[in-house]
Amino acid sequence: MVAHAKALGMPALAITDHGSMYGVIKFYMAAKAAGIKPIIGCEIYVAKRSLQDKEAGVDKEYNHLILLAENNVGYKNLMKIVSVSWLEGFYYKPRTDLALLEKYHEGLICLSACVNGYVTEPLTRNDDEEGEKRAKKLNEIFGQGNFYLEIQHHIDVPPQEPANKKLIAMSKKLGIPLVATNNNH
């Protein structure tokens, strides 16, 4: 991915592996060697209730969020969130919750993620009120300018386009900025 980003003339590239940061150092070194700004992040799993809850049939469900380290404080907070997710929140996946995000939000930029994102997933179920409530909460936790509603263009993900329309409308209504991303795997 670093070589392809370099060939396309992209000045920066982010790594946001699911639930872990194992690839960060190798990615960082490759990006620096290619003259590309490395952006360190993680696609975290947010528990539906608390990261402590592990009730069979109830707590297996989760949503995604993207966290990006804005600075060294954010990098340390990202490592803390990911570590706690594995050590205390693991139930099928390494999960976090809003309380942990509130505690370690400093220096982090949050994106609302894919169609299974914490904000977007309710929109795909036509629960726009819940999606808006979650967006407001994340904007409150991370602060204006540190939380973005994420739109993507994946033609093979049918709920994506209707969700994008709702996210654009939500952005205008709440004053939360949009960011366009795409998944690379």
Instruction: Determine the pLDDT at residue 184.
Output: 77
Question: What six digits make up the tokens of 121?
Answer: 């997933």
The per-residue pLDDT for range 39-90, each reduced to its tens digit, is 999 999 999 999 999 999 899 999 999 999 999 999 999 999 999 999 999 9
Could you tell me the CA-to-CA distances from 33 to 6, 27, 29, 37 in Å, in that order?
11, 10, 6, 10
How many domains would you assign to the chain?
1
Phi, psi of 94 (to 5 degrees): -80, 100
Nearest CA to 178 out of 91, 119, 116 is that of 119
CA-CA-CA-CA torsion sign (42, 118, 10, 1): positive
Does the residue 84 lie in any domain? yes
Residues of the domain holding 70: 41-181
Range with lowest mean pLDDT among 11-15, 126-130, 142-146, 155-159: 155-159
Give the orientation angle of helix 160-174 with respect to helix 128-142, to 10 degrees.
60
Does the residue 69 lie in any domain? yes
CATH at 65 = 3.20.20.140
Does the residue 33 lie in any domain? no
The per-residue pLDDT for range 92-106, each reduced to its tens digit, is 999 999 999 999 999
Burial of 33 (0-12, 13-18, 19+ CB in 10 A): exposed
Does the residue 25 lie in any domain? no
Does the residue 1 lie in any domain? no
